[in-house]
Amino acid sequence: MNKGWKEVNILLLAYLGDAVYELWVRKHLLEQGIAKVEEMHKRAIIYVRAKNQAGILRYLLEELDETEKDVVMRGRNAKAHHPRNIDVITYKHATAFEALVGYWYLTDKKQRMNTILNRIDSIMEQTDSVDTQ
């Protein structure tokens, strides 16, 4: 990467993180034995729903180092337009989660990313804000 990660627009970091997380989710579901596209799609929606991403981020906050917290703060404070079907705070936290995933990916912290993402199922079970509908 030519630029340092701090020079990358935080919304681009979140955009990249969104793609990386979506790919991780699909691979994760495939590893769980989901073999039909429709079923994978239905289950993937649960993982990528903004409300659930926001809940996961809130759960992880205490575990993050200072640099990761800085990424989260930048992602949360980014000026982005949010969909009408979700409140601003939830959308900002979901954007922050995606920015964090993008940061891990861009800075070759893939082991850290995978360590945390591999706990997503248990985190979602422990987080009361997770929406499975």
Note whether 43 and 16 are within 8 A (CB).
no
Helix (H, G, I), strand (E, B) or coil at 109: coil
Q: Which of 18, 87, 108, 131 is catalytic?
A: 18
Q: Any catalytic annotation for residue 18?
A: yes
Cα gap 96→45, rounded to integer Å: 18
* Residue that the structure tokens 């981020």 belong to: 57
Task: Please tell me the distance from the alpha carbon of residue 4 to that of residue 47, in angstroms, as a whole number.
Answer: 29
Q: Give the rounded distance of the alpha carbon of 106 from its chain centre.
A: 14
Q: Which active-site residues does the annotation give?
A: 18
